[in-house]
Structure 1
Amino acid sequence: MDTRTPIPASQQPLAMSSRQNTSASAGLQVLRTAIGATCYFVFYFVQQMAELFAPLLLIAGAAWAALPALVKTLTRTTASADPQAHDAIASVANAIPEQIVLAGHELTASGLICDGLGLMAVAAAGATLAMLVGRKL
């Protein structure tokens, strides 16, 4: 009968195959961390850019949509006061475009507002994805 006490697994010498398995596992962990950090960077960068441009597009679109209504109101109020002012304001009202073509892209007031809202959704998605990737790191 063998009276020796068994050696716990933590104190036993490592075999060659377990050392290779440990180094491969460490290499995969480093690769996983690098991929996660890159994804976190991309998501956070997209979120920051969307948060920067969304309010600008919303404000520009809302101002562009409100400007013709404001000018028409001024035209009605100045119609009886001064005919020259009425003509000047009417020419300004006619000069406000409904759409602008810039580098082949058609910009409208409602399009800018929709783009701003879309960027807000992209910012929210970027924040969510960055948070999820951050938890996994």
Structure 2
Amino acid sequence: MDQPPNANYARPLAFSSRAADGSPLAFRLVRTGIWSVCYFAFYFIQQLAELFAPLLLIAGVLWKVLPALVGALSHAAVAADPQAKDAITNVAAAIPQHIVVAGHDLTASGLIWDGILLMGLAAAGATLATLAGKSI
């Protein structure tokens, strides 16, 4: 059986400092390290956003709906007992429109918006982590 003259069947695999693309080993290690750090950062941000997005969204929706529910309850209690109506009215008045925490003004609509933005951040983190993972 004749082999073609340009066949290199007997040449062993070379584990040299050069890759198939011609870049040195140190450059490849630095590039891999940078992409690994980027992958970690993007994945970590994604995990935090996936944790807090539903919490903020649910808290905002409940806070937004609570005054309407208490108002509906007070309308139902009009015929029942005047003292119950007064108690429900006091509870409805005690529900704040905004809360200041460490200098930040929190509102129900703001929490909902923050939850939606965190969902977008989680999607962006997943996309960037995937791209960084492919670049490693």
Structure 2 length-normalised TM: 0.84
**Structure holding more helix per residue:** 1
Shift of 1:45: 0.1
Q: Percent identity?
A: 57
Gaps of 5+ in 2: 1-7
- 1:1-42 Cα offsets, whole Å, 9 max, x none, are xxxxxxx8xx7xxxxxxx8x7497100000000000000000
Which residue does the alignment assign to 1:106?
A: 105
1:41-94 deviation per Cα after TM superposition (whole angstroms, max 9, x unaligned): 000000000000000000000000000000000000001110110000000000
Partner of 1:128: 127
TM-score (norm 1): 0.83
Structure-1 separation of matches of 2:129 and 2:102: 33
Greater radius of gyration (CA): 1
Query: Which amino acid in structure 1 is aligned with residue 66 of structure 2?
Result: L
Report the Cα offset of residue 136 of structure 1.
Answer: 1.1
CA deviations over 1:74-124 (Å, ceiling 9, x no partner)? 000001110110000000000000000111000000000000000000000
**RMSD between aligned alpha carbons?**
1.9
2:3 paired residue number: none
Alignment correspondent of 2:70: 71
Aligned-partner Cα distance in 2 for 1:47–1:22: 35
